[in-house]
Structure 1
Amino acid sequence: MRNYDEPILRSQRIDPAAPFPILHQAVRIALYDEYAAHAFYAGVVEAFGPRPPFANILRSEERHIAALSNLCQRFGIPRPLNPFPQETSVAPSWLVNCERAVAGEIANIRLYDYLLGQVGEPEARRVFLNLQAASRERHLPAFRQAVADAMAQERYHAARGIPPEAAYVRHGPFSDFMERALAHAGPLGIFSPLLRHSHPAMLAGLVAGGAGIYLLKNRPGRNRKED
């Protein structure tokens, strides 16, 4: 079943000739766009697991939808039907999804710029400005950082002959931490060639083993005995 104002919602442009008030159209356009973002982020979380930034921004999108739904209730605006869970797909590449999220947040910020130029109602403007600020100040920087991290991780794996689709295999919390650290590391002196060609899980094992030996040698009881 389609929305009665589907062309307006899809175009994201207010139609002055439509038999609906400007505020009515603007709130429904905003809510429809937040539906789309929520469906995409939920799809990425389902495909890749509850990884940041998608998992936490998904919860933020739920709050955006709630804020706009409250506007609908306040002004007697019917909420649009949400077709996006059925028609949204995600890419097999984490990097591509992060890039798509960056583009989506930029488009969302511009959409609110447009809607704020059309709407004069103070309460609606306050909600639009709050949602736009969240996208601009939190969501967009988080996704841009995710793109940078993903590109670094894929370069790190490409140097070892590992294809991009295998660059995000989980090795465990400590190994994953080591992998992220090495992906962003600069020159590492005489150890650089070894580290550049070592698997992160192996490096994690070396570090953990070294830490274990250190703790064994320096445990309190041993030190007291040798003193």
Structure 2
Amino acid sequence: MNFPYYRRLGKMKSKFIGILMMLVLSSLTFGSYGHLGAEKDRDMTVQEMIKYAIEDEIFAKTEYEKIMKTFNIDRPFSNIKRAEETHIELLQPLIEKYNVSYDKLDEKSLVIPKTLKETFEIGVQAEIDNIAMYEKFLKDEKLPADVREVFTHLRDGSKNHLRAFERQLRKY
């Protein structure tokens, strides 16, 4: 029997369970917030789409700030955080024009992973989910041109963030 193999398998299983638990906890906490809400919502109004978009961008920005502080790290999170701030600014005129209200993020319930590698793994999945949310929104043929333009820009930004997280993850 190859015992080191089984120990490695046990460590991998523990990490997987840890990441899975964090995702489950964040789903319970933020179940109808941002992309998680958009995922469940089948028939959305433009206002609901904008609401989910702004919530998701605020969540990401806040999460990256907390990660930078927790791990005392700058890149790639500082660049992505600045991009999230730009995304929020792009959504502001739509929020005003379409009279959108959204839920405030409860920062205390935001859970940060124990390792930097886990933050990159979760970052990859978060960007995949974010891209899927914008793709779902962009399928709506009745989407106003101004909203379509912003959502397209935000989706493309998420694709850049995904590549950045994947690059970081390859270092492990």
Length-normalised TM-score, structure 1: 0.57
1:128 aligns with 2:154: no
1:23 aligns with 2:23: no
User: Of 94, 118, 136, which residue of structure 2 is paired with 1:114?
Assistant: 136
1:83 aligns with 2:102: no
8 A contact 1:109–1:132 mirrored in 2: yes
1:140 aligns with 2:166: no
Q: Distance in 2 between matches of 1:91 and 1:132?
A: 25
Which position in structure 2 is the counterpart of 1:92?
114
Distance of aligned partners of 1:85 and 1:7 in 2 relative to their CA distance in 1, 3 Å threshold:
closer
How big is the shift at 1:76? 2.1
SS of 1:120's equivalent in the other structure is: coil
Q: How does 1:52-71 map to 2 (within 5 A)?
A: 52-71=75-94
4+ runs of 1 displaced by more than 6 Å?
Answer: none
Unaligned runs of 5+ in 2: 1-30
How big is the shift at 1:117? 1.5
SS of 1:126's equivalent in the other structure is: helix
SS of 2:104's equivalent in the other structure is: coil
8 A contact 1:39–1:84 mirrored in 2: no
SS of 1:51's equivalent in the other structure is: coil
Q: Distance in 2 between matches of 1:22 and 1:43?
A: 32
Unaligned runs of 5+ in 1: 1-5, 152-227
Q: How does 1:145-224 map to 2 (within 5 A)?
A: 145-149=167-171, 151=172
How big is the shift at 1:8? 7.5
Length-normalised TM-score, structure 2: 0.73
How big is the shift at 1:41? 1.0
Of structures 1 and 2, the one with the larger relative CO (CA 8 A, separation 6+) is 2
Identical pairs, percent:
24
How big is the shift at 1:50? 3.9
